Structure 1
Amino acid sequence: MASKWLLVAPVAGTLGLGAGVGADRLLSAAGEAKQDLKPATTLPVTRVVLFNSGVGYFSRSGEVDGDARVDLTFPESDVNDLLKSMVLEDFGNGRVSAVSYDSREPVARTLSSFAINLNNNPTFAGIIGQLRGERIEVAVSATAANQPGKLTGTIVGIEKQKVPVGTQTTDTEVLNMWCAEGMRAIKMSDIQSLRFSNPLIESEFRRALEVLALSRDSQKKAVQLHFAGEGKRKVQVGYVIDAPIWKTSYRLLLKDQEKPYLQGWAMVENPTDEDWSTVKMALVSGRPISFKMDLYNPLYINRPTVEPELFASLRPVTYQGNFNGRAERSGADKQVFNYSLGLYGSKDAGVPAPAPAFDAPMPPTGGKAGGLASGTFADGAPALGKMRLAEVNDPAAEAQRRKHAAGTAAELVQRLGTGSVGNAATAGALGDFFQYTIDHPVTLPRQKSALLPIVGKNIEGTRVSIYNAGVQAKHPLLGLRLKNTSGAHLNQGPITVFEGSTYAGDTRVLDVQPNEERLLSYAIDLGTEVDPKAGAGKQKITSVKAVKGIVTTTTKVTEETTYKAVNRSQTDRTLLIEHPNRTSQQFKLVDTDKPAEDTPEVLRFQIALKASDTKSFTVKEERDDVSTIALTNGAEDQIRYFVSLNEISAGLKNKLNEALKLKGAWDYTARELNQVNGDLQRFTVDQDRIRKNLRETPKESEVYATYLKKLSEQEKEIDALTAKQKGLTADEFGARKKYEDFLANISD
């Protein structure tokens, strides 16, 4: 049966949008809803779909007769989700008329609309300062200096004054009033009470306080659904709101020579204030993206203020008449756009067409209507107004559009809530999600929780002992390699394990897809012991290469870990050894059996361990460490180290030896230069000593002549050393450059 449906979108106070309902009909429907005095119809919850993402889909359905109103109440926190997701259907000869709810202004905006603005917790002085010019009556404390008991006057303002306190001064707020006897100043601390003479101000103050009180009220909000039509028919409303996630817990029964038996329970809660009576329930295992958006509070945006342009007054302008009489206007001038009404039309047309809708499809060209081409206007604009009018007046197109919209909504609701009938719960894929449909109606009182069976099947599983040194250094853990052959997606949750009728331990499982294998561990295996021993490790240089003065050394690092396992029990064991997976550290297995399982964190090696048996298993890993060194003029020790390696090629060794020779030649020249520099330094010091002695020695003395002779000889030697220094400096620079250039071009 076709249905009229409504996807709710918020508007201020009243909202409604029906297929093919015009603006005039929408207003009429809203007016009819206001005038409806019939008792409200009750729509009980008939279907609940819970998700793992903190939301739930709730469907209400029932029968209405004629024009009907459905009253619902929701916590204020759910109103935004309700406005975002509500879907309404009217099956039969009816339609969705409107949805009304109590709108609400933001508290800050409401408070700012009163004569006294109580936003931002104003002080006593701040409140009085807002009412300058108002008459008040003030009661002053008896301890106030030179003040009568009561004063009546007009508020002038609030100021701060310096008041002496002992030997210091402090700032005090003072109320300035205009009284019958003149201006008075009263300390705010001396005011015991204050009343406003204007009853409007008293009323505004009281209403502002009431708004503050109501803003903290978490009472439920009323939502009214209005349906219009004739006769009895079925209606339905669905919505998505906050709901506790449903959880799972499992029981795993292990028996010898039998398959493990898995029993799964879903834990659901009814946090609402309404009993769920024989509702159809489905549990979806998935993580749909869900978010909150503020659609309930009216939102305002700031608009720019534009100053009007001011022009100087002009003298009246007069115009002469047309010599040839009144000019005839062109056909294009006859086509007008009525900006005041927002209508396209023609002066020759009887009724103007509606303004073009921005979302209307582009109409085909051709044909005439009302003096205008249906494809374009005279200025080239598409005749969208004419096209939209034709759509509305076409009964066949309107019926087809309603049928398509109703089918889309019914398909959406059916996808959220359908499921087949099976055992305790029927499991099935729902796109990328997985759904459990509870086969029998569920009754759950308000504020109560329940356990619902969803899985009860034998599954495949193999007993194993799992050893991981990071979990338990000495003993492995008793476990099970479980294969999910239940045919259902297993949601994450705890598992309680029983050995026969005896409790064996607890474990936890993450989400397991059908036919996926997963390891479980539930107890310590005291009958098996594992002793891991790490070897000393080896390092060996495997190659030395040089490219443009950069020497690359490759060193092979080998590490070994030996696991010695002892089975002291009387039953055979399948031991899984979890070894760290170091692939990201460039390690690779060598001379080691391939692991049974490879995960990003560990490699699992499987060993069959008979009763009272002992085995050792060695994991050997290798990786290549590569280091690079740039040969510089200070790398002589590194060069000698590379030359001493047996792994170096003969060609590279010869080049490095040649580099050492060049380094030796550079060192020899540098030593010669240092010797000359030292001699020059020594002569400089000696000449300073001789000059000092000459100043103190008489010229007639014999020693004076000796000093002059020695000074003259040293000058000759300094000239010779200076020339030699210049040559050695050039030689040292050339030798160093030759050595550095040679190093930078060594390749082998």
Structure 2
Amino acid sequence: MEGLSVRKIVLYKHGVGYVERRGKLKTDEIKLQFKRGQMNDVLKSLLVLDAGGKVTGVSYESHEETSEKLKNALEVPEGKAVMGFLAALTGYNVTIVAGKVFSGILVGVEEAENKAPEQGVVINTEQQKSRSVVSILDNKGKTHFIRVDEIKNVGIDDKKVLDDLRYYLDLTAAERKHDIKGVTVHLDGDKTHDLAISYIIEMPVWRTSYRFAYDDKGSLLQGWGIMDNSLEEDLEDVEVSFVAGQPISFIYDFYAPPLASRPVVREYVRAVSAPVEMESSMDEEKKSEYMDDGVCGGAMPCAVTPKSEAAPPAPGKGARYARPDVMVMENSASVQTKGQNLGAFFRYDITTPVTVKRGESAMLPIVQQKIDCKKVYVYNSEKNYQNPMVAVRFENRTGLTLERGPLTIYDAGMYAGEAILPFTPEGAEQFIVYAVELGVEASNETRTDSVFRQSTLSGAYLVKTFYEKTKIKYKINNKTKEAKKILLEQRKYPGYELCDTPKPAEQTEGFYRWYLDIPAGKTVEFTAVQARLMSYSESILNMTVETLEYYFKNGQMDNRMKEFVGQIIAKNNEIRDLAQEKVNLDAERTRFLQEQERLRKNIGALSQSGDDAALRKKYVKQLDDEEERIQEINNRITEIDNETLELQKQVNKILNSFK
């Protein structure tokens, strides 16, 4: 907007931007324009400050589509600027100047019909207009008929109708701008207002791009912030800031007017009806081991050019600038950025005004710092199974928070690889992996063993404790002609502890780390062991003599425990024998009872004399014998129950006696 241009933009990483406009204007209203999709954010965040007056209100275009708004508006058909306009005024008070002045209600318009084709004569538009007539009824009841081609001007006497026409014209003009919506800020009086208007709208996320250059005398980190101008205007001499962090943000639908659903209540005759009313760590002592005094530990050879070969000189005058040396890079970009720590956020303020044309993007330098670093070879089988990776290790001492972004690495002026620099607060350490060392090959084998630790008794259970050991054996073969120091990373298994392994040089939350010296042309083996304590419980009441002997033979039970458990097993064997005897007796008793039922039926069918008498006597004796046996069985079952109860008491006593 002219006179109220954009003076400041703050871009965030979650897709919004803060826009601030400033200027002095003599007016009673300010008109701003936004895309339909930006209206919710504008209504949620619009802030207007007036140092020369007061803000009396803010109005904005309705959410309705233009076609919906025009339904109740005075509408002039497209392509009929004269006849359609006059027809739309039918029924309204107008003043028409056509030689004389006619005032009254416009009755209607009669357009001349073109019947020329029947006579083969063509009538042009002017001829047709000269035959068209508009009629007007004055306040005396007289109707005047006026030729349309004689009309000089038409005045609308009804202010409401005139406002309606202007509303139609404004909507028609707005429709040509598609999804552009207007917001009007109303001010107190037509005087000079010193205004600052700010708001949040959806904008492209700003990005970062880094360059990392190595040199014998030190390394240089250079960072650029990339922004896009998505506004409908050029940005000239604007303050730009980039914010690292992620504030909470959301879309709240302010623009679409909400309508509450209400029940429909109908009137009934003689009835009253009413409505119901939310990895990177470093050991402190290790910092001095890998950080040199301000420089990298020697030049880092490029993956393409062997270290022993000198880099070929660049031909031609000024060709030295073609190679991104540290000194050249340091002098080729002027970083005018001030960093501000805002607690949960970090802001890069570009101190030099920025100009970006509409629809264009810009790269702005935000970081240029010499840093202390060291090249390391890292082997992590989860990241790359066959070879170690080449990385640069550094601690962020730039005084800035480094946002996440791609990183291009140069070594001795040559391209060496690419990486992603993670989000890195001030003081945090990073491993930046950018290449693979193909001259060193690595492999590993994993084996899991269970090692017995001890056996204990807990009540009626034998608890056996084992160490479950996971051994990872690494083989690292250095095929190059130079000795290598490899940083070996091994993941920490949840619930495991390191054992039978040298103390790690350092560790992070998720990994152990060891430094391994690999001589040129040699293979070095290293074994890392992690173990966890496992326990299994087994009821000794169900244990057999064979199981007892097996545990004793394999050292999982001492002689004292064996004798103790042996007593329990012996008593349990007696209990099991008694239980089996009781089962057998119960089966026998059931068989006798069934037999007795059969005998009683047979006896009932026999008479008291003759041959039946002898058979009846035999059945009665058999029945008596079986009854006597059943009684013996009942007595024995009672004895078994008593003996079992006594044995169980003895088992409990033995269990309680073991210390």
TM-score over 0.5 (shorter chain): yes
Aligned with residue 449 of structure 1, among 355, 361, 366: 361
Q: Say whether 1:558 aligns with 2:503.
A: no
- 1:394 matched residue in structure 2: none
Q: Is the alpha carbon distance of 1:712 and 1:229 closer, same or farther for their aligned partners in structure 2, counting shifts above 3 Å? A: closer
- 5 Å-filtered alignment, 1:77-96, equals 77-91=37-51, 93-96=52-55
Matches within 5 A, 1:278-293: 278-293=237-252
Q: Which residue of 2 aligns with 1:469?
A: 381
Q: What's the counterpart of residue 251 of structure 1?
A: 211
Alignment of 1:8-19 (within 5 A): none
Listed one character per residue, the Cα deviations across residues 94-130 of structure 1 (whole Å, up to 9, x for unaligned) are: 222332222346999999999xxxxxxxxxxxxxxxx
State the 1:631 CA deviation: 4.9
Map of 1:406-425 to 2, 5 A cutoff? 423-425=335-337
Quick one: which amino acid aligns to residue 293 of structure 1?
Y
Determine helix, strand or coil for the equivalent of 1:559: strand
Query: SS where residue 512 of structure 1 aligns?
Result: coil
1:520 aligned onto 2:432: yes
Partner of 1:412: none
Amino acid at match of 1:446: R
Tell me the secondary structure at the aligned position of residue 503 of structure 2. coil
1:339-488 correspondence runs (5 A): 423-488=335-400
**2:9 match:** 48
Note the alpha carbon deviations across 1:60-96, whole angstroms, 9 max, x for none.
111223x4422110012211211221122222x4222
TM-superposition CA deviations, 1:656-685 (whole Å, max 9, x none): 222122212213323433443454456567
Which amino acid letter does the alignment assign opposite residue 471 of structure 1?
K
SS across alignment from 1:541? strand
Q: What is the one-letter code of the residue matched to 2:487?
A: L
Letter in 2 for 1:287: Q
CA distance in 2, matches of 1:589, 1:245: 44
Between the aligned partners of 1:427 and 1:508, the Cα distance in structure 2 is: 22
Q: Which residue of 1 aligns with 2:183?
A: 223
Q: Output the CA distance in 2 between the equivalents of 1:461 and 1:439.
A: 29
For 1:238 and 1:631, locate their aligned partners in 2 and report how far apart those are by CA, in whole Å. Answer: 79
Q: 1:222 to 1:709 in 2, by over 3 A?
A: closer
Greater Cα shift, 424-433 or 268-277: 424-433
Distance in 1, Cα, partners of 2:480 & 2:50: 70
Aligned 8 A contact 2:545 2:566 in 1: no
Whole-Å separation in 2 of the counterparts to 1:439 and 1:667: 92
- Structure 1 spans left out of the alignment, 5+ residues: 1-39, 115-210, 312-421
Q: What residue ranges of structure 2 are gaps of 5+ in the alignment?
A: 74-170, 271-333
Helix, strand or coil at the partner of 2:611: coil
Query: Is 1:238 the equivalent of 2:198?
Result: yes
Over 3 Å counting, the alpha-carbon distance change for 1:305 and 1:463 in structure 2 is same
Q: CA deviation at 1:433?
A: 1.1
Provide the secondary structure at the position in 1 that maps to 2:466. Answer: strand
Indicate the SS of the match to 1:440. strand
Match of 1:665 in 2: 574
Alpha carbons of structure 1 residues 690 and 522: separation in structure 2 relative to 1, 3 Å: same
Q: Give the CA deviation at 1:245.
A: 1.1
Superposed CA offset, 1:582-629 (max 9, x none): 1x2x21112323333423332222223343343222212222112234
Report if the CA contact (8 A) 1:677-1:725 is conserved: no
Contact kept, 8 Å, 1:589 with 1:621, in 2: the verdict is yes
Counterparts of 1:623-634 in structure 2, within 5 Å, are 623-632=532-541
Residue identity opposite 2:515 in structure 1: Q
Question: What whole-Å deviation, never above 9, does each CA across 1:668-721 have from its counterpart, x for those lacking one?
Answer: 323433443454456567778888998799953999489548625743653453
| Residue in 2 that maps onto 1:73 | 33
Q: Which residue of 393, 397, 419 maps to 1:507?
A: 419
Distance 2:191 2:621 in 1: 139
Q: Residue 242 of structure 1: CA displacement?
A: 1.0
Structure 1 residue 457, shift from structure 2 partner: 2.2
Contact 2:548/2:562, CA 8 A, preserved across alignment:
no
CA distance in 2, matches of 1:229, 1:112: 34
Q: Distance in 2 between matches of 1:677 and 1:745?
A: 33
Give CA-to-partner distance per residue, 1:167-198, whole Å, 9 cap, x none. Answer: xxxxxxxxxxxxxxxxxxxxxxxxxxxxxxxx
Deviations 1:632-671 (A, max 9, x none): 5678876666666645466644442221222122133234
Amino acid at match of 2:16: V
Greater Cα offset, 463-472 or 550-559: 550-559
Give the aligned residue type for 2:44. Answer: K
**Distance 1:684-1:94 versus aligned 2 partners, 3 A rule:** closer
Amino acid at match of 2:645: G
Distance in 1 separating the partners of 2:567 and 2:265: 85
Instruction: For 1:16-165, list aligned pairs within 5 A.
Output: 42-65=3-26, 67-91=27-51, 93-104=52-63
Work out whether residues 259 and 460 of structure 1, in 8 Å CA contact, stay in contact via their aligned partners in 2.
yes
Kindly state the Cα deviation for residue 435 of structure 1 after the two structures are TM-superposed: 1.1
Q: CA deviation at 1:284?
A: 0.7
Partner of residue 543 from structure 1, selected from 449, 454, 458: 454
The residue type equivalent to 2:344 in the other structure is: D
1:612 counterpart residue number: 521
1:86–1:679 CA distance, 2 compared to 1 (3 A): closer
2:43 partner SS: helix
Q: Is the 8 A contact 1:423 1:439 kept in 2?
A: no
Deviates more, 1:661-670 or 1:723-732: 723-732
Letter in 1 for 2:186: H
**Structure 1 residue matching 2:398: 3-state secondary structure:** coil
Tell me: CA distance 1:682–1:41, structure 2 relative to 1, closer, same or farther (3 Å): closer
Pick from 700, 711, 735: which aligns with 2:611? 700
User: TM-score, normalized by length of structure 2?
Assistant: 0.65
> Would the alpha carbon gap of residues 653 and 215 (structure 1) be closer, same or farther in structure 2, given more than 3 Å must change?
farther
